[in-house]
Amino acid sequence: MVFAVPTQTTTPLEPIGFSVPSKEYLVNMYVGKKLRDARTPRLVVDRAVVKRNCEKIAAVSSKSGKKIRVHIKTHKTIEATEIQLDSAKTDAIVVSTLAEAYYVINSHLVSSGKLKDVLFGFPVSPDRFDDIYHLSQKVEKFCIFIDHDQTLDALETYCEEKFGGKPPRKINVYMKVECGNGRAGAAINNDASVNLAKRLVSSPLLNVVGLYTHAGHSYASRDRDGAVNFLKSERDAALDYKKFLADNGVQFDNISIGATPTVMAAGLVDSTELEGITELHAGSFVLNDRQQLATQLLDESGLAVTVLCRVASRYPERGSLLMDGGALGFSKDAAPQGGFGTIVGEPKWKLDKLAQEHSIVTEVPIEDFQRVNVGDVFRVVPNHCCLTAACYEFFLIIEDNGDEIVDVWVPVRGW
């Protein structure tokens, strides 16, 4: 089938330069100050906890004997990516946006040899092929997801039109398959996906790396056994599919599975349970949040992220405080614990209502109003670190739960 290639869209990172705020300016402005002296709301990241979280993942990697691929969408920064690569002992990442890809590929991480393998972890649409070919020349290995025939149709037409059928290099591809998450991925065990798999492995345009599943549904784990069950069912879905394809004459070598709960579970099982799996991937483990706490695979010492909020008004008559933040400072993602966040040091208070910029704290005991005043600051653990971090144009960095700002990290936003 000849599939018309749409106009190519661009990530406005090159050649004009993507406008991220100046780190230098922000470092001058904030480093050395106390958190309470910063404008709120603001995302606060504890660098020491980030490092320890990455070391835990490195321990899973060495116990299981599997390579780790770390997702950077959680923070979208060069600094946290570097800690992930160093401390999780890997050279492979996943990105969710091409802006993330450009940001890290253009940084010192590639030139220093720390970052070698970048996967665009979102099924690529045909308007982005220009960027894909551009990026694939800038890093040792650049991979994409394909989970539908039409993407391959469009790639073939694009290569014909653009390169006379002979592109400068093969594009590395993971076939993304669905394992119960119901998000992206080809349906397994049906004729359409066998046909796609056959086309992928025989395409002269591609180098097929393997199969990729993402067990996002494992966030429903509520204890270690639950997470191990999700891990086993993800493993079985991937291995059964590999066998099904092999029985149909299509050979895939590598299998990458994961999500933070299933990768944490991989550290709990014997390495023989992961035979046939070649790679584990995870992202949220870097910062963690209330959703991850609810899986009971970590305790509060693994929480690297909080939102710094300030009391803007107080209503003792209704046991309520008004803080800044709101839906634009937290996102409206839910967590099994209910509400939108846990206020550090104040277990009785509830953050159970958000308007655009308003955070409404309720159930504040009357005696607490004797010590809490307008202007006080609090740190709040958010429900979902990835979405909350994405609300901020820069992060204040602390070390080991200190209250002094030691660095500022600037994420890349946009697509």
CB of 325 to ligand PLP, least distance (A): 23
Among 42, 66, 67, 71, binds ligand PLP (CB under 6 A): 71
Nearest distance in Å: CB 257, ligand PLP:
10
Q: Show the site string, 3-42: x = touches ligand PLP by CB under 6 A, - = not.
A: ----------------------------------------
Q: What is the spatial distance between Cα 264 and Cα 60, in angstroms, rounded to a whole number?
A: 7
Q: How many other C-beta atoms lie within 10 A of the C-beta of residue 391?
A: 18
Nearest distance from C-beta of residue 260 to ligand PLP, angstroms: 4
- Number of residues in contact with ligand PLP under rule CB under 6 A: 12
> Toward ligand PLP, which CB reaches closer, 156 or 289?
289
Name the residue with tokens 């634009």: 328
In degrees, rounded to 5, the angle at the alpha carbon of residue 169 between the alpha carbons of residues 93 and 143 is 20
Coil, helix or strand at residue 16: coil
CB of 13 to ligand PLP, least distance (A): 21
- Kindly state whether residue 121 participates in binding ligand PLP, applying the rule CB under 6 A: yes
Among 20, 35, 43, 94, binds ligand PLP (CB under 6 A): 94
Residue 290 region by backbone torsions, left for phi larger than 0, else alpha for psi between -120 and 50, else beta: alpha
CB 398 within 8 A of CB 33: no
Q: Does 47 bind ligand PLP (CB under 6 A)?
A: no
**Smallest distance from the beta carbon of 68 to ligand PLP, in angstroms?**
11
> Considering the rule CB under 6 A, would residue 143 count as an interface residue with ligand PLP?
no
Tokens 């003792």 belong to: 316
Pairing of strands 206-212, 92-95: unpaired
302 near ligand PLP, rule: CB under 6 A: no
Among 87, 284, 295, 359, binds ligand PLP (CB under 6 A): 284
Q: Is 307 helix (H, G, I), strand (E, B) or coil?
A: strand
> What are the start-end ranges of the E strands in 37-169?
42-46, 67-71, 92-95, 117-120, 141-146
Backbone φ, ψ for residue 231 (5° rounding): -60, -45
* CA pair distance 223, 214, nearest whole angstrom: 19
How far out from the chain centre does Cα 111 lie? 23
**Helical (H) or strand (E) element with 93:** strand 92-95
Is 382 one of the binding residues for ligand PLP (CB under 6 A)? no
Q: Which residues contact 255 (CB under 8 A, 6 or more apart)?
A: 210, 211, 212, 213, 238, 239, 242, 276, 277, 278, 279
Stretch that binds ligand PLP, among 202-210, 278-286, 358-366, 375-383 (CB under 6 A): 278-286
Q: Which is nearer to ligand PLP, 200 or 227 (CB)?
A: 227
Instruction: Return the number of the residue (98 or 408) whose C-beta is nearest ligand PLP.
Output: 98
Instruction: Give me the least distance between CB of 277 and ligand PLP, in Å please.
Output: 14
Stretch that binds ligand PLP, among 7-15, 266-274, 279-287, 407-415 (CB under 6 A): 279-287
CA Rg value for the chain: 23
Smallest separation, CB 129 to ligand PLP (Å): 20
CB of 340 to ligand PLP, least distance (A): 19
- Tell whether residue 282 is a contact of ligand PLP (CB under 6 A): yes
Sorted by sequence, the CB contacts under 8 Å of residue 270 that are 6+ apart come out as none
Find the binder of ligand PLP among 167, 185, 283, 341 (CB under 6 A): 283
Measured from the CB atom, is 180 or 216 closer to ligand PLP? Answer: 216
Choosing from 42, 214, 235, 310, the residue that interacts with ligand PLP (CB under 6 A) is: 214
Between the CA of residue 390 and those of 183, 191, 327, 394, what are the distances in Å? 20, 39, 12, 9
Output the CA–CA distances (angstroms, integers) from residue 101 to 24, 120, 306, 342, 413, in the order listed.
22, 7, 26, 33, 11
Q: Which residues bind ligand PLP (CB under 6 A)?
A: 71, 94, 121, 214, 216, 259-260, 281-285
